[in-house]
Structure 1
Amino acid sequence: MNNETLYPIKFTPILKEKIWGGQKLREILNKNSESSNIGESWEISDVEGDTSIVSNGLLKGKSLKDLLLKFKGDILGEKNHEVFGDKFPLLIKFIDAKQDLSIQLHPNDEIAAKRHNSFGKTEMWYVVQADENSNLIVGFNQKVTPEIYLKHLKEKTLTEILNFDKVSEGDTYFIEVGRVHTIGAGVMVAEIQQTSDITYRVYDWDRVDDEGNKRELHNDLAIDAIDFDMPDNFRVNYSKEENISNEMVSCPYFNTSYLKVTETLDKLNNKDSFFIYMCTSGEVEIEANGFTETVAKGETILLPAALKSYQIRSKNATLLEVYV
C-alpha cells in the first residue's frame, strides 16, 4: 500500500470550447480561460486523449492514468480495481449552455461496447445556476413510438413531442441511457457520468459553425438506442438536511449525495471506493493524512480510497459527494 503519499488530489480542469458554450464557467466558477465559448470543464477525466493532470501536492504533474497504474486499489478501492482495472470509471464535468445543446441520447453498455469499445453513458445533472425561464429537455411529453418519432424527426417538429422542464438552482435529473435529452440555453450544470464520450446527436437546431458547416448527426445509430418505454422518473427528489450526506442518485455506476456543510464534519470512508467532492457554492477545507486542501466554488477534489478518515470544514458550502 502506497497511501503514505496519498492525499486529497486536485486536477487542472480540461476546458472545452463548444459552439453552444459561453462565459459562465469563467465568470461564475472562476475557470482560467479567455475564450468566449467554453462549454465544458472536465474536472476529472480518464478519457483517452483527455487525461486529467494533478495540480497540487507531491504528485503534481502526474496524470490520473499514472496514479491508477501506480496506486491501483488505493485510488479506486479494491472492488472497483477488480472491475475497472486501470481505468477511472467516472467523468466529472461542469457544463455551461449559452445556447441549447443538440438533442441527443447515449447508448447503453452493450451497444457502446459493440459499436465503440466503450462504456455506455448513464449520467446525472445538478443545476448549479439557471437563467430565468431556462429549460432542460428530458424525455417525451406523450407516448411515442419509433414511427411517430421518425415522422417528427423528418418534418423537423421533434420539439413538439419533447418534454421541456423549467429549472432552477438545485434541480437534479438522472439521465439513463436511451433517454432523449438536452441542456437548454442559460443552464449551467454539474454532470456526473460514466467514463464515455459517446453521444448520438439527433437534432442540432439546423445551426452552422463559423465556416457554414452543420455538425454531424447520428440518426442511423440512434434509432435502436432510444428507449421509447422509459417511465418519467428522471426528476430526483432529495433532502437538504445540513451536515449529513443526503442521497440523490444511487445506481450501478455511481452514488451521489447532496452535502450542505455549516460546521466541522468528521467523515469515515467505509465504502471501499474513492470519494469525489464538487463544490457548487461556498468554500470548504478538506484535511486527510496530514494534508489540507481548500476547495472553492467550481472546484473538484478526489479523495483516494486509501484515505479512510478525513475532515470537512466550512461555515457555509454546498458539495456533491460521489463514490462508486
Structure 2
Amino acid sequence: MSLYPLKFKTILKDKIWGGDKLKTVLNKDFSPLPNAGESWEISGVEGDVSVVSNGFLAGNNLEELIEIYMGDLVGDKVYEKFGVEFPLLIKFIDANDVLSIQVHPDDEMSKERHNAYGKTEMWYVIEADKGSELIVGFNQEITKEQYLGKLKEGKLEDILNSTPVKEGSCFFIPAGRVHAIGKGILLAEIQQTSDVTYRMYDFNRTDDAGNPRELHTELAVDAIDYSFEKKYETTYKTEVNKTEELVRCQYFTTNILEFDKAIEKDYYDLDSFVIYMCLEGDLDLAYDEETISVAKGESILIPATIKNVKLSPKSKAKILEVFIK
C-alpha cells in the first residue's frame, strides 16, 4: 500500500507557564494536563517520537516509518543527511505566563557538548492578548562582559529587546539569539530536532516543590550571539489565495497561505516532505483521488512521493507550509 498524508498523536507537555488556549483555541480539548504549555505535533526527538494516528500505518512511529520508506517519506536528500531521525520539531505553544529567558547552541557546539543538533527556530503568533510581548535579541550593542555584569546585578531585562506582538507577528531565531515568549501568546514554532535549551534567567520562579528552576548560565555564555539588530521581526506580506514566504534557512522553509477557494500545490521540483499546520478554518486535502479532512489545530505530513495536492477550505483557512529545500 502506498504512502498517504499522515496525522500523528499529539504529545502534550505540562509547563509551569502553560494555559488553556491549546484547548480553547486549537481544539486540543482531550488534554488531561492542568497547564498544557506545548503541543508537539510532529517530533523525532528521542523519547518523544510521534506516532501515526490515521490510516493503515496508525500505531507506527515516525522513526520506524523512515526506516521502512526512507526517501519516499522524507525526501532523498533529507534521508541521506539525517537517516531515520526526523529533522524538524513542529509545535504549538501556549504561554499563560512569561517563559524563561533562554538561548540555544548551534550545531557545532551542540555536537561537541551534547552529541545533538543545534536549535534554530521560528515563531508565528496565532493569537496574542493586548499588550503581549516577545523577547528577541538585545536592545543595544553588548559585550560578553557587559552581559555578565547585568546578569550578576539581576538586571538582564535592561538589555533585552522586547517587541509588542499581535496575530501574524513572525520571528526567525537562529541558534545563539536570546529569546523568551511573553505572557498571553499562542504561537506555532518550527525548529530543528533538538531539545537543548540553556535557561539564562527565570524571574526567580520555583517549581511545584518550591525549588528554584535550574539555570545554565555558564553554558549559555559561549552560546550567545551578542550582536545587535535594529529590527528582529520578520517583515512579509500576505495576499489571499497566494502562498507567501515567511522564513527560509538551511534548516527549513516556512510559507503562509490564507485562502478562501481551492488551491492546487505542485511539489514536483521539491525533494522533501511537506508539513501543513492548520491555524484557521477547516479544509479538505485531496491527493491521488483520495481526500482527507484537516481541522483547525491539526498538523499533517505529506510524504515526499506525493507531488500534487488540492486544498479546499470549508470557508476560509490559514495554514503554515513547512519543508526543507
* Aligned equivalent of 1:78: 76
* 2:321 alignment counterpart: 321
For residues 152-167 of structure 1, what are the structure 2 equivalents within 5 Å?
Answer: 152-167=150-165
Structure 1 residues 81 and 233: alpha-carbon distance in aligned structure 2, compared to 1, 3 A threshold: farther
2:125 is matched with which residue?
Answer: 127
Kept in 2, the 8 Å contact 1:16–1:40? The answer is yes
Q: What does the per-residue CA deviation read over 1:33-92, in whole Å, with 9 as the maximum and x for residues that have no partner?
A: 132201100000000000101011111111111111110001111111111111111000
Look up the match of 2:270. 271
Which stretch shows the higher mean deviation, 232-241 or 212-221? Answer: 232-241
- TM-aligned CA deviation for residue 293 of structure 1: 1.6
Q: Partner residue of 2:17?
A: 20
Which of 211, 214, 219 is 2:212 aligned to? 214
Return the offset for 1:123: 0.2
Measure the CA separation in 2 of the matches of 1:230 and 1:309: 42
Match of 1:287 in 2: 286
Runs of 4 or more, structure 1, over 6 Å off, are none
Report Cα offsets for 1:132-188 as digits up to 9, x if no partner: 101100011111111111111011110111111010000000001110100001011
Deviation at 1:244, TM superposition (A): 2.1
Task: Give the TM-score normalised by structure 1.
Answer: 0.97
Partner Cα separation in structure 1 for residue 142 and residue 244 of structure 2 = 34
Specify which of 66, 73, 98 is matched with residue 100 of structure 1: 98
Deviation at 1:290, TM superposition (A): 3.2
Q: Where do residues 187-206 of structure 1 align in structure 2 (5 Å cutoff)?
A: 187-206=185-204
TM-score for both structures, normalised by structure 2 = 0.97
Task: Please give the secondary structure, in 1, of the residue aligned with 2:23.
Answer: helix
Structure 2 segments unaligned to the other structure (5+ residues)? none
**How far 1:233 moved relative to its partner?**
4.9
- Among 221, 236, 239, the residue aligned to 2:237: 239
Verify the 8 A CA contact 1:6 1:289 in the aligned structure 2: no
Secondary structure of 2:222's counterpart equals coil
CA offset digits 1:102-127 (Å, max 9, x no partner): 00010000000110111100000000
Say if 1:128 and 1:182 are closer, same or farther in 2 by CA, change over 3 A: same
Partner of 1:87: helix, strand, or coil? coil
Letter in 2 for 1:286: L
Alpha-carbon distance between aligned partners in 1 of 2:151 and 2:158, rounded to the nearest angstrom: 10
Shift of 1:230: 4.8
Tell me the residue number matched to 2:297.
Answer: 298
SS in 1 for 2:223: coil
Which residue of structure 2 aligns with residue 33 of structure 1?
31
Paired with 1:312 and 1:294, the residues of 2 have a C-alpha distance of 10
Contact persistence 2:138–2:228 (CA under 8 A): no
What's the counterpart of residue 310 of structure 2?
311
Q: Given that residues 8 and 287 in structure 1 are in contact (C-alpha distance below 8 angstroms), is that contact kept between their aligned partners in structure 2?
A: no
Provide the rounded CA distance (Å) in 2 between the counterparts of 1:284 and 1:122: 30
CA RMSD after TM alignment: 1.0
Partner Cα distance (2:66, 2:42) in 1: 13
Distance in 1 separating the partners of 2:61 and 2:286: 22
1:261 deviates by 1.7
Superposed CA deviations along residues 219-243 of structure 1, whole A, max 9, x for unmatched, are 1110011011253453111121122
Q: Which residue in the other structure is 2:88 paired with?
A: 90
Whether 1:142 aligns to 2:143 is no
1:7 corresponds in structure 2 to: 4
Give the match for residue 58 of structure 1: 56
**How far apart, CA to CA, are the structure 2 residues paired with 1:21 and 1:232?**
31
Question: Which AA in structure 1 matches 2:89?
Answer: L
